């Protein structure tokens, strides 16, 4: 029944995504008789939750190369080697979603639907965080009120403060008991209308934002821990979206790769992180993430692709001489949900904040819980999971826990999530054996994305893009 519902909803969403474009004030201020001028709240909820999930994946499809989860099969690929790439599509998708979210909030306020206002605030904060993490400054205060086609850019610091404010406001709205319209369970494609889970997601996003500034004097590990405590309590709370017009977009990349439209190759860095090469311990999640190489081609079951080099297997750009995103993985299968934020991730946010606060025991307990939760999520059998946790290279004891171990394990948990690039920059890319891609255009690791051509061509307020090696304000 769930499978049928997913595909039925996908068909409805195909129409909804076309019919709700009237919400997108930033891009189209003119009347269009073919567009729905006043969509109901439940339709707006389905559209915004759908776009939020897809935007999570869309951005990660680029940044997965920067953190070396993925590598190109082609030597010197632009994304793989830190060249400027035009992400107009991602930028526009984020702002189209934000415009829809803005309109849902306005409608919710007009109808006294505080539940919808709360959810809108939380999703708006999430999208602002995508702008903050990848470009820095961005249009917001003038972007959605029909006042101009060329909105000014708000500073990254102001967007950060606004995102935190929106999350607090969203929590307050969802804690109200007098909403005139209840969240539609069928149209909420992330939490099925569960207000408690939305409040926990708001706190998860808040914990991310507060932890992001770990290099800044304002960093407050106590505030991070407070947000974590009010976030997810188990894997069941994870923010995920699993309705697609076809299949999970990661699975679509894997399907195309199998048809020799090459993409989704796993980086040598990530594979060696898991297969025992780098750390001397084999991670049992590896066979739940990818499929083995063709045994007739290599005795090594898991071979990654070096970033910037391209295919190095015994055949030239053919399948299964190296490893790829897998349609057999619970993370990237055809019907697998796109994970936006997870309980396992929050345990590592807790571990880091507790470690920085000097509470080694709490940090260690959270560190182990994060590993355990993620292994349970991907289906690692209990015996294999416990053997890994008890390995002396992993189960080091509270006194021997380090930030290196916390970031090492969190790197696996955030596989194919855009948040991983934020972590890599906060950590200064200090993962073991993490090297610049071959043929890289920069002499140091990439720290930001250039403003897209689509925005610079139509909005004269777009700032000049600094060098891609220049850190964003929170990364300094």
In order of start, what are the domains of the chain with their CATH numbers? 2-247+336-475 (1.25.40.390)
Confidence at residue 145, expressed as pLDDT on a 0 to 100 scale: 85
Confidence at residue 307, expressed as pLDDT on a 0 to 100 scale: 97
Confidence at residue 295, expressed as pLDDT on a 0 to 100 scale: 66
Confidence at residue 317, expressed as pLDDT on a 0 to 100 scale: 57
Structural contact between residues 144 and 131, judged by C-beta atoms closer than 8 angstroms: no
- What's the rounded Cα separation, in Å, for the pair 64 and 222? 30
Structure-derived torsion over alpha carbons of residues 50, 56, 60, 62, reported in degrees to the nearest 10: 60
Q: What share of the chain is helix, strand, coil (3-state, %, to 5)?
A: 50, 5, 45
Confidence at residue 65, expressed as pLDDT on a 0 to 100 scale: 98
pLDDT, tens digit, for every residue of 2-57? 333 333 343 334 334 433 333 344 444 334 444 556 799 999 999 999 999 999 99
Instruction: With H, G, I as helix, E, B as strand and everything else as coil, classify residue 97.
Output: helix
Instruction: Print the SS3 string covering 224-241.
Output: HHHHHHCCCCCHHHCEEE
pLDDT, tens digit, for every residue of 98-156? 999 999 999 999 999 999 999 999 999 999 999 999 999 999 999 998 889 999 999 99
Q: Specify the residue for token string 């003119």.
A: 30
Confidence at residue 321, expressed as pLDDT on a 0 to 100 scale: 83
CA distances from 170 to 116, 178, 346 (A): 9, 15, 19
User: Dihedrals φ, ψ of 341, to 5°?
Assistant: -155, 150
- What's the rounded Cα separation, in Å, for the pair 252 and 325? 10
Structure-derived torsion over alpha carbons of residues 157, 158, 163, 165, reported in degrees to the nearest 10: 120
* Below-70 pLDDT ranges, the chain: 1-37, 295-299, 313-319
Strand-pairing partners, residue 265, are 71, 324
Largest CA distance in the chain: 66
Continuous H helices in 233-359: 249-258, 268-274, 286-289, 343-356
Residue partners of 229: CB distance under 8 A and separation at least 6: none
Confidence at residue 147, expressed as pLDDT on a 0 to 100 scale: 87
- What's the rounded Cα separation, in Å, for the pair 208 and 231? 11
pTM for the structure as a whole: 0.92
């Amino acid at each position: 029944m769930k499978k049928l519902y997913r595909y039925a909803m996908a068909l409805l969403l195909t129409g909804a995504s076309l019919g709700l474009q009237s919400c997108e004030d930033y891009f189209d201020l003119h009347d269009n008789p073919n567009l729905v001028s006043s969509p109901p709240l439940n339709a707006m909820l389905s559209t915004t939750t759908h776009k939020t999930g897809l935007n999570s994946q869309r951005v990660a499809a680029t940044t997965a190369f920067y953190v070396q989860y993925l590598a190109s099969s082609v030597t010197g690929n632009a994304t793989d080697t830190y060249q400027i790439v035009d992400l107009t599509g991602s930028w526009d998708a984020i702002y189209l979603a934000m415009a829809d979210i803005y309109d849902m909030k306005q409608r919710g306020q007009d109808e006294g639907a505080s539940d919808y206002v709360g959810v809108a605030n939380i999703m708006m904060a999430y999208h602002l965080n995508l702008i903050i993490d990848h470009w820095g400054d961005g249009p917001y205060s003038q972007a959605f009120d029909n006042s101009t086609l060329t909105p000014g850019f708000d500073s990254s610091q102001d967007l950060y403060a606004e995102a935190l404010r929106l999350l607090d406001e969203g929590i307050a709205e969802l804690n109200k008991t007098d909403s005139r319209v209840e969240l539609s369970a069928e149209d909420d494609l992330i939490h099925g209308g569960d207000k408690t889970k939305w409040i926990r997601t708001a706190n998860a996003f808040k914990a991310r934002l507060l932890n992001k500034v770990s290099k800044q004097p304002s960093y407050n590990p106590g505030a991070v821990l407070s947000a974590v405590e009010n976030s997810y309590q188990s894997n069941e709370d994870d923010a995920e979206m699993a309705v697609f017009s076809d299949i999970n977009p990661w699975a679509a990349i894997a399907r195309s790769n199998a048809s020799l439209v090459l993409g989704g190759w796993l980086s040598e860095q990530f594979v060696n992180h898991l297969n025992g090469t780098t750390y001397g311990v084999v991670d049992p999640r590896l066979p739940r993430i990818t499929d083995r190489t063709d045994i007739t081609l290599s005795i090594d079951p898991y071979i990654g692709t070096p970033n910037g080099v391209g295919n190095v297997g015994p055949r030239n750009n053919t399948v299964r001489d190296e490893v790829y995103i897998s349609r057999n993985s619970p993370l990237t299968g055809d019907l697998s949900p796109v994970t936006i934020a997870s309980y396992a991730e929050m345990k590592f946010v807790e571990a880091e904040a507790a470690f920085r606060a000097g509470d080694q025991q709490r940090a260690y307990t959270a560190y182990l819980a994060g590993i355990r939760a993620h292994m349970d999520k991907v289906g690692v059998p209990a015996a294999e999971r416990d053997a890994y946790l008890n390995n002396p290279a992993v189960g080091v004891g509270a006194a021997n826990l380090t930030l290196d171990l916390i970031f090492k394990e969190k790197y696996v948990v955030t596989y194919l999530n855009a948040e991983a690039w934020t972590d890599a920059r906060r950590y200064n890319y200090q993962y073991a054996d993490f090297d610049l891609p071959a043929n890289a255009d920069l002499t140091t690791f990439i720290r930001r994305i250039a403003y897209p051509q689509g925005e610079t061509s139509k909005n004269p307020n777009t700032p000049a893009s600094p060098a891609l090696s220049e850190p964003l304000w929170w990364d300094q």
